[in-house]
Amino acid sequence: MHWVNVEGYPMPIPIGGHPALELCNTWAGWSAPPSPEREWLRDFDRLAVWTGHVRLLTPTSVARLREQGRRDPTAAHEVLAATRQLRTALHDILLDPHDTDAFRHVAEEAQRAAAAATLETDRTGLAHWSLPDDLGLRLPLLAGARAAADLLTTPARTEVRACPADDCGWLFLDPRGRRRWCSMATCGNRAKVRAWAARRQPL
């Protein structure tokens, strides 16, 4: 079981350890042949729900986005397509730090997010950067870009690993250098079962 039902949609269980990695993991099977069935973000409404699922945006923002998406489906689809492009570029730069084209794409979106962000404080006085709701339909894209920048500018960026399962490739943080699979409950156990079956094959 690697998904849960969120607002009527199947959504991947967050296992990456960072919202930017969860964005990459909305595509299932990076090393497998492309297929529409591997896409978790099949429309803008699911994208909006997903941002709430991984706590990139508040429930209030998600509800507003879903309504805006229904009113302007063409613009919503453009944002969805741009978010998927960001996802691919982020995935590529995380696995290949020398991919300058991928980095440039992520950096451009991250700079737009940074320009739109405002510095706010909570009740304790702790400050944090926030993206205002008046960004409209672009909010999920910029929130994803903001998360990407947060990951790429911290030491955690060097702790990113890819699940070696043939039909997976999901990314996750491995700070201790001991984690191999995205999830032992799915990919890890399947690998164990395959290895056990191979040992049982007659000569």
Pair 90, 148: CB distance under 8 Å: yes
Domain borders along the chain are 3-200
Confidence of residue 102 (pLDDT cuts 50, 70, 90): very high
User: Which has more confidence, 125 or 106?
Assistant: 106
Residue 198 confidence (pLDDT):
40
pTM greater than 0.85: yes
d(CA 107, CA 86): 10
Amino acid identity, position 158: T
Amino acid identity, position 112: R
Residue tagged 């156990």 (tokens): 189
Give the contacts of 148 (CB within 8 A, at least 6 positions apart).
20, 23, 86, 90, 106, 109, 110
| Average pLDDT of span 42-55 | 97
Residue 201 confidence (pLDDT):
47
Residue 199 confidence (pLDDT):
45
d(CA 114, CA 185): 37
pLDDT digits (tens, 9 = 90+) for 131-152: 998 899 999 999 999 999 999 9
pLDDT digits (tens, 9 = 90+) for 172-193: 999 999 999 988 877 877 654 4
pLDDT higher than 90, residue 18: yes
d(CA 17, CA 162): 13
Residue 190 confidence (pLDDT):
62
Q: Yes or no: is domain 3-200 CATH 1.10.3300.10?
A: yes
